[in-house]
């Protein structure tokens, strides 16, 4: 293929002083989604990730562990390799900076810049943060501490070699304007370059036993940030320049200023784009090993599966900081993967097995915003692309409800749905590859981008196995079965009707825990194979909710449409007949359940008003 058709993408390489955390998984999964997307669209991709093993924090951690440094980095690097496998990453190479190919390349570039007289010997006095492996100035400190690691830096004074970084200020300003994504991160670097003095950079450390030898003076080691940055070039396998470096915002300066300056000095072509992503936060704080609030991604994959972890991460904002937790993973798995995608695959495959397919024009797929999805991916807006794909999944689920193929047996409708699922699975292949492969196997199509525009071939379809299992979380408020067992402060008989909560069921001793709102029923729909349930769309002012209620034998559709009701809004969602039901309607129910009357507020009360 022509050079213009290649796509070389990298992640930052990770320190191996501890196990990987969820932030590492986030960055690697972002890069993997972009790598897979570009392969899918026909490009020759080289995807590089790896580990930074020459850092002093690795040596310190090994000392604390009481084992040789080499043994320590070998052991921990293997865990990062395991993470790549667990996440089903498609990386073409995994570089370790202790490898011969990298050591020789780093020394060669250092020597080339030295011979050009742009590295010189001097003396360094100032602050050094071990966490950043970086020299920092006093103005960078917050309350005397490094803001990135919340620790006081070390004040050092030593002989050192310096790189003439200041020489490249004007060229860097010009380069950065087209290099960094997003705009906000580009402007941060430009502000520093344009308004602050750009000092020469210390590129060596003295008296260290671990690291890459300085090729011009064996008393020194090459400063880790020069060593580490060179990995993108030493691991390129003939694919340089990089099309995109994917990094976290904490190392923006190193990649947008130091790295291109070194390349300019060494006469090496510059990379094309720098994608600077936000952090994952837990309780408002960045998740990091240094802060000790880590989530182990390997544990998550083993517990919930690779695609649920991948999807939950890729739903986070690319450019801004995002909250992340195990609870968020579970919510995204249950509400989006299981309820929306999984339910669509299950229902359509079962109906296709029963009624078959009949070829026709697929008008449904015209609702898919393919060009916008492609544009989002081109702009690295992965989260936005996923939003559009799931908007189309929602439309497909609505189409099933509108057309009711379980009643009509309409094989043309099923053809449209299966053909649309083909497009969905192909587009999701970059994000949840294993699940897309299962979908393709069920419906009989190839996971190739060009297949989106082709009509699906009719084949014999069997009902798919459950794609995503629901993950149960204990929720005391919604655990209605416990009401049967709790005797204290209760003198009522518990009677449960699907989607309806009777006055007898309410524990008024815990009234403050309940949130009831006035709602208005806007839409009433039948549910496939359900004799008792209606699917209701209820307006509660701030939003519209779908609720499944077992009142079909007590109310006609026309009696319900436009009716005001009382809705319990802070209950855990339940899956009923494959539909996520968000709330329960308050009703009066007699002993035999032969009569159910919905409790209605006065007509002049506004929608969304709270019931107290």
Out of 84, 129, 202, 396, which one is annotated catalytic?
Answer: 129
DSSP 53-87: -S-HHHHHHHHHHTS-HHHHHHHHHHHHHHHHHHT
Among residues 57, 277, 289, 340, which one is catalytic?
A: 289
Element (H, E) at 182: none
Residue 286 is a catalytic residue: yes
Please give the CATH topology (third level) of the domain spanning 3-286: Rossmann fold (3.40.50)
- Helix axes 69-86 and 56-65, enclosed angle (nearest 10): 110
Q: Is 202 a catalytic residue?
A: no
Tell me, what DSSP letter sits at residue 258? Answer: I
146 is catalytic: yes
Question: 362 φ, ψ to 5°?
Answer: -95, 95
Closest CA to 106 of 259, 270, 274, 272: 259
Domain 336-453 class in CATH: mainly alpha
User: Which residue is catalytic, options 21, 186, 221, 582?
Assistant: 21
Q: Which is catalytic among the residues 28, 57, 149, 221?
A: 149
Active-site option among 84, 146, 202, 396? 146
Q: 610-611 and 516-526 as β-strands: parallel, antiparallel, unpaired?
A: antiparallel
Catalytic residue list contains 289: yes
- Tell me, yes or no, if 108 is annotated catalytic: no
Domain 3-286 matches domain 476-611 at the CATH topology level = no
Catalytic member of 28, 86, 186, 286: 286
* 183: its two tokens: 């705009």
CATH code that applies to domain 476-611 = 2.40.50.140
Using DSSP's 3-state secondary structure scheme, residue 163 falls into strand
Going by C-alpha positions, the residue among 181, 183, 173, 182 that lies closest to residue 261 is 173
What's the confidence (pLDDT) of residue 475?
Answer: 41
Q: For 345-409, give the DSSP string.
A: HHHHHHHHHHH--------GGGG--HHHHHHHHHTT-HHHHHHHHHHHHHHHHHHHHHH-HHHH-
Tell me whether residue 102 is one of the annotated catalytic residues: no
Q: Active site includes 493?
A: no
Sequence ranges of the domains in the chain:
3-286, 336-453, 476-611
Buried b (16+ CB within 10 A) or exposed e, 447-464: bebebbeeebebeebeeb
- Catalytic pick among 84, 86, 102, 132: 132
Q: Residue 579 in contact with residue 548, Cβ under 8 Å?
A: yes
Q: What's the predicted TM-score (pTM) here?
A: 0.75
Q: Does 255 participate in catalysis according to the annotation?
A: no
pLDDT of residue 417: 98
| Mean pLDDT split into 10-residue runs, the chain, 612 residues | 77 94 96 98 97 91 93 97 98 98 98 97 79 68 76 80 97 98 97 95 88 94 91 98 97 97 98 97 69 83 97 97 93 95 97 96 97 98 97 97 96 97 98 98 96 93 94 49 36 41 46 75 86 89 87 88 89 76 83 72 79 74
* pLDDT at res. 479: 36
pLDDT at 104: 98
């Amino acid at each position: 293929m022509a050079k213009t058709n290649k796509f070389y993408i990298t992640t930052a390489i990770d320190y191996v002083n501890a196990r990987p955390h969820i932030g590492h998984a986030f960055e690697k999964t972002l890069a993997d989604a972009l790598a897979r997307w570009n392969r899918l669209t026909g490009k020759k991709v080289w995807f590089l990730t790896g580990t930074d093993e020459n850092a002093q924090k690795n040596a310190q951690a090994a000392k604390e562990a009481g084992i040789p440094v080499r043994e320590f980095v070998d052991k921990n690097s293997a865990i990062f390799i395991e993470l790549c496998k667990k996440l089903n990453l498609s990386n073409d190479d995994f570089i370790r900076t202790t490898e011969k190919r990298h050591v020789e390349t780093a020394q060669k570039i250092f020597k080339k810049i030295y011979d050009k007289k742009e590295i010189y010997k001097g003396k360094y006095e100032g602050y050094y943060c071990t966490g950043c492996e970086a020299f920092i100035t006093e103005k960078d400190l917050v309350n005397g501490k490094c803001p990135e690691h919340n620790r006081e830096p070390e004040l050092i004074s030593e002989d050192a070699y310096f790189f003439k970084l200041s020489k490249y200020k004007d060229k860097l300003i010009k380069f950065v304007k087209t290099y960094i994504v997003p705009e906000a991160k580009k402007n941060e670097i430009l502000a520093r370059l344009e308004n602050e003095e750009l000092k020469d950079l210390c590129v060596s450390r003295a008296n260290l036993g671990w690291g890459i030898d300085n090729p011009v003076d064996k008393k020194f080691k090459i400063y880790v940030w020069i060593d580490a940055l060179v990995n993108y070039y030493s691991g390129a396998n003939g694919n340089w320049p990089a099309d995109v470096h994917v990094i976290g915002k904490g190392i923006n300066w190193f990649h947008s200023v130091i790295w291109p300056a070194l390349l300019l000095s060494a006469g090496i072509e510059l990379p094309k784009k720098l994608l600077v992503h936000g952090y994952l936060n837990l309780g408002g704080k960045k998740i990091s090993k240094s802060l000790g609030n880590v989530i182990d991604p390997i544990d998550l994959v083993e517990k919930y599966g690779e695609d649920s972890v991948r999807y939950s991460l890729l739903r986070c904002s690319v450019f801004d900081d995002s909250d992340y937790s195990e609870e968020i993973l579970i919510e995204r798995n249950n509400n989006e993967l299981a309820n929306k995608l999984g339910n669509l695959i299950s229902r359509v495959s079962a109906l296709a097995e029963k009624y078959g397919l009949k070829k026709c024009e697929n008008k449904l797929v015209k609702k898919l915003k393919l060009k916008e999805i492609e544009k989002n991916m081109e702009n690295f807006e992965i989260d936005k692309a996923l939003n559009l794909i799931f908007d189309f999944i929602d439309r497909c689920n609505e189409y099933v409800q509108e057309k009711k193929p379980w009643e009509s047996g309409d094989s043309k409708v099923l053809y449209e749905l299966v053909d649309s699922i083909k497009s969905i699975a192909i587009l999701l292949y970059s994000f949840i590859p294993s699940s897309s492969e299962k979908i393709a196997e069920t419906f009989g199509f190839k996971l190739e981008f060009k297949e989106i525009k082709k009509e699906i071939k009719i084949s014999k379809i069997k009902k798919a196995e459950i794609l995503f299992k629901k993950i149960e979380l204990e929720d005391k408020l919604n655990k209605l079965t416990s009401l049967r067992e709790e005797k204290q402060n209760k003198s009522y008989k518990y009677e449960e009707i699907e989607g309806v909560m009777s006055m007898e069921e309410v524990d008024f001793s815990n009234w403050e825990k309940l949130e009831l709102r006035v709602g208005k029923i806007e839409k009433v729909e039948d549910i496939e194979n359900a004799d008792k349930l209606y699917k209701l769309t209820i307006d509660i002012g701030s939003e519209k909710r779908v609720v499944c209620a077992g009142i079909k034998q007590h109310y006609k559709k026309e009696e319900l449409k436009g009716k005001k009701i009382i809705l319990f809004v802070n209950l855990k969602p339940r899956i009923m007949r494959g539909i996520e039901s968000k709330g329960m309607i308050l009703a009066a129910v007699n002993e035999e359940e032969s009569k159910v009357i919905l409790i209605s507020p006065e007509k002049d009360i506004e929608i969304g008003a709270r019931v107290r």
